[in-house]
Amino acid sequence: MKKLIFILSIVALASCNSGSSTGTNTSAEAKPLDQEDMQTKKSFYDFTVKDIDGKEVDLSQYKGQKVLVVNVASKCGYTPQYEDLQKLNKEYGDKIAILGFPANNFGGQEPGSNEEIKKFCTGNYGITFPMFEKVSVKGVDKHPLYRWLSDKSQNGWNDQEPTWNFCKYYIDENGELKHFFQSAVNPMDEEIIKLIES
């Protein structure tokens, strides 16, 4: 009888361990899935996102073009960078696409709806570069594009997610992430201009 109880205990323990290892494997399996994902999402151009009006935009339309992805907000100390982003767009729009992604992750500084954000951007800064629907750029609900931008297992080298509003990711003509710029780096910064002109 003791032997039977002992065997049953081992079986129960083994199934508990296998259950918990399955639970642990959920994140462990995420890595192979990410690697698998890399085979299908090798570049920025493999993503589809929604613009600020809710229309699907296939980022493959930017193939062969340099891109600057910026997480933007309407009530931030860096909000005046909208003016510089628009200036960059006006002066270099034929060489680089600027894509604005509103996000409310930092200090609740983007509380508005997509419609309100669009009105604010066009009314206050005359924004003509593409704006996209409000997304999350960090945390558990991080948008898949921002997951790619901030996970080196997906983009090849960078683990840096946005630290505040107006962080910038530079993608080259081949859809590869090449640079990350903190919020304080102005869109018209010499380093960004050099990348555009190179």
- Indicate if 76 belongs to the active site: yes
End-to-end CA distance of the chain: 79
Contacts (Cβ under 8 Å, ≥6 apart) of 177: 44, 148, 149, 155, 156, 157, 158, 169, 170, 171
Q: How far apart are CA 196 and CA 71, in angstroms?
A: 19
Could you tell me where the DSSP H helices lie in the chain?
2-40, 81-92, 114-125, 144-149, 152-155, 190-197
Q: How far apart are CA 11 and CA 32, in angstroms?
A: 29
Please pick, among 16, 76, 121, 167, the residue that the annotation labels catalytic: 76
Q: Are 137 and 71 in contact (CB under 8 A)?
A: yes
Q: How far apart are CA 54 and CA 61, in angstroms?
A: 17
Q: Which residues are catalytic?
A: 76
